[in-house]
Amino acid sequence: MKKHLLVVVLTFCALISFEQSFSDDFESYAPGSMLGEESDVWTTWSGNDGGADDVQVSDANANSGSNSVYFSSTSANGGPQDCVLPFPGELNVGQFNFEMWMYVNSGTGAYFNFQSEDVIGTTWAMDAYFLNTGAMQFTSGGSLQLQTDFPFAQWFKLRMENNLSTNTWQIFVNDEPRGSFSNGETQIASMDIFPLQGNQFYIDDVSYEFTDYPLPALNGAITAIEGMSNGLAGQVVSPGVIVRNLGTTTINSFTINVNYDGTEYSQNVSGLNLSSLAFYTVDFADEFTLEAGEQIATAVISNVNGMGDDGDMEDDVKELIINPVVPAAGKMVVAEEATGTWCPWCVRGHVFMEYLTQQYENYFIGIAVHNADPMAFDAYDVPMGGMISGYPSGLVDRGPEYDPSQFEIPFLERVQIDPTAFLENGATYDEETRELNVSVSTTYQTAASGNWKIALVLTENGVTGTGSDWAQANAYAGGAAGEMGGYEDLPATVPASQMVYEHVARFVSPNFGGLSNAFGTSMTAGQEFVHNFSVVLPVDWDASNIHMVGMVIAPNGTIDNASYTTIEEAESNGFVDGTDVVGILELSAPDAPFKIYPNPAADICNLNLQLREISHVVIEVYSADGRLVLSRDYGTLSGGNIFPINTSIWESGIYSIKLMTNEKYYTERLIKK
């Protein structure tokens, strides 16, 4: 077996630069042998070379010679193949050029990542996704850095030229430049190749070259311009400029200039004590409006320590190509996150849902669908659970499953798609009875046909509780799993007193899938529809924190468009009479104090009430159109009680039975034959 690692030491003047390189064409291995077991460099994620996560050398397809390595997975969780190529240590300065040839089977995909630290599984520096659509995406920390395309069913060369000193990553496909970015993580230590479900791909002729960077005496460099790359056209942003001390002398002061679309801002920074190789972020209060079309933002550092030019002027300027996504008019994207207080990795969803809500206000709607905790709502949780493979995960406009940390990728794709329909919420709310009536007005922008559906979701922000079930399990405690929005500074079980839950799914009507054929079977451009929903809010819900989400669901099950308002905003729009949609909220399940039987009922039904304490009992029955058809005050009761209700004079349909015990409200559905 040949050696694959070559080290060359070069000396220039008084500065020393180290070069290291690696290459492997897999020709030195026997077909069918295990790569990690046979190689003196390649290994596996588990470290058990030759085990389940090792990969066989293949002679079925190759770019050069006869051998390559084939990766595939049918597992929902990916793998078990999981091969690691270590780099020469934890690299954060110098030039690192990486190259490999890939062959992705038609309609499938591929995946690999760069790890940031020698201990794998600590921090992911970069993720590279090759999707079955032909899109190639580079992400960092779940944030999309660059998207381009790749060819199927042919060998292509992927090259990455990464200046780790200045944090400039350039991507090439078959030597054609595809763009550059500043990565969220500035250190790399290894490559991990891990096939995701449905992936089928070969790799061949893998190589890298690393050249160290000798530090000048005084050198301030710009490594990134933040806050501008992933915006939407028309958004107002304030940039952050990351400065790095790439010299041996401590930096105390400098000047930063940022220019975009003909507007330039300048900021002087002083009073620093920035040590060698350390980073410092300059946050600008000045604002830029992102303009449609490709433009360049430029940041320049000057006058470091008041000395004018520094020791390396090539790293004083950073350019960022900005081509913001142009959102479709009237489009809102819905992200449904599957989460639970018991799920230690689900804090990832808390962080990214809040980030996207703030980053893309007026375009992004987050819904946290809780499972097996006090906020779980079965009518939402159960069907949601049938569409995902595990927790945390979620759906964006009910498309493919994503980890919440990756929601930004499908969001940016979906927000550009012209919606078929526009929606507007209206409402009336009675603070005394807590009855909320909602109208969702839908206007079709283009002709459509088929089984289009409508649904209403209520979410609540600022939800808190007491007890162990409200405490949040936290896998990021202590920082071993990396930073996660401050959860790294919290304990492994975050006490309920420290947790505030946002975007909590409280109600869905008429059900998760929506009302079938809500608009008929054929709609014309400009045609308008109105649907009415009604629900009595429980007393422990804060009406001021309730949001209403109207959804139009396309025949293929994806969410075409949505509306998002507070109760106050919907009231200002005004309630519009329309077609009633009956959705019954199981507020009390599984602890409902009463049952109804028979249900459906013809002439009479019985209400079986089991009271745990002495209570003042009032029962009201409402028809589907909101009319009060029965009201009875039974006074103070305790224990078990059965009340017959005469339904013979009622019209056939669905009724809502509301039970009030002391200050608690419960609702059940009754169907009259």
What is the residue-wise DSSP string for 109-146?
-EEEEEESSSSTTS-EEEEEEE-TTSEEEEEETTEEEE
What is the end-to-end Cα distance of the chain in Å, rounded?
Answer: 80
What is the rounded distance in angstroms from the CA atom of residue 344 to the CA atom of residue 341? 8
pLDDT band at 308 (very low <50, low <70, confident <90, very high): confident
583 pLDDT more than 80: no
Compute, in degrees rounded to 10, the torsion defined by CA atoms 334, 340, 343, 349: 30
Q: pLDDT digits over 93-140, tens only?
A: 999 999 999 999 999 999 999 999 999 998 899 999 999 989 999 988
Q: pLDDT digits over 347-363, tens only?
A: 999 999 999 999 999 99
161-165, 195-199, 319-323, 550-554: range with lowest mean pLDDT: 319-323
Q: pLDDT digits over 218-232, tens only?
A: 999 999 999 887 789
Top mean-pLDDT range of 123-132, 301-310, 561-570: 561-570
Average pLDDT over residues 485-495: 95
Average pLDDT over residues 360-380: 94
Q: Residue 518: what pLDDT? A: 95
Q: Residue 624: what pLDDT? A: 66
16 pLDDT more than 70: no
* 388: three-class secondary structure by DSSP: coil
Consecutive H or E run containing 24: strand 15-24
Amino acid at position 340, single letter: G
Q: pLDDT digits over 218-274, tens only?
A: 999 999 999 887 789 999 999 999 999 999 999 999 999 999 999 999 999 999 999
Structure tokens belonging to residue 21: 């390189």
Amino acid at position 354, single letter: E
Q: pLDDT digits over 509-547, tens only?
A: 988 999 999 999 999 999 999 999 998 888 889 999 999
Q: Residue 159: what pLDDT? A: 98
pTM: 0.72
Q: pLDDT digits over 77-92, tens only?
A: 889 999 999 999 999 9
431 pLDDT more than 70: yes
Burial of 528 (0-12, 13-18, 19+ CB in 10 A): middle
pLDDT band at 6 (very low <50, low <70, confident <90, very high): very low
How far apart, in Å, are the Cα atoms of 130 and each of 11, 106, 189, 378? Answer: 40, 11, 22, 36
630 pLDDT more than 60: yes
Average pLDDT over residues 493-507: 97
In the chain, % of residues over pLDDT 90: 72
List of domains in the chain:
5-211 (2.60.120.560), 220-322 (2.60.40.10), 327-418+464-499 (3.40.30.10), 594-672 (2.60.40.2550)
How far apart, in Å, are the Cα atoms of 576 and each of 428, 455, 571, 573? Answer: 10, 16, 10, 9
Which candidate, 321, 249, 327, 245, places its Cα nearest to that of 280? 245
Q: Residue 590: what pLDDT? A: 36
In the chain, % of residues over pLDDT 70: 94
Residue entry with tokens 């002083």: 270
Q: Residue 13: what pLDDT? A: 34
Which candidate, 330, 83, 332, places its Cα nearest to that of 194? 83
Which candidate, 284, 290, 471, 306, places its Cα nearest to that of 375? 471
Which candidate, 368, 32, 315, places its Cα nearest to that of 182? 315
Structure tokens belonging to residue 3: 């050696």
Structure tokens belonging to residue 263: 């507007």
Q: Work out whether strand 364-370 and strand 333-339 pair parallel, antiparallel, or are unpaired.
A: parallel
Task: Specify whether the CB–CB gap between 554 and 562 falls below 8 A.
Answer: no
**Helices in 404-500 by DSSP H: which ranges?**
408-414
Q: Which residues contact 587 (CB under 8 A, 6 or more apart)?
A: 538, 665, 666, 667
What is the rounded distance in angstroms from the CA atom of residue 334 to the CA atom of residue 561? 8
User: What sign results for the dihedral spanned by CA atoms 491, 497, 502, 507?
Assistant: positive
Consecutive H or E run containing 85: strand 83-91
- 367 or 19: which carries more pLDDT confidence? 367
User: What sign results for the dihedral spanned by CA atoms 584, 587, 589, 595?
Assistant: negative
What is the rounded distance in angstroms from the CA atom of residue 598 to the CA atom of residue 607? 9
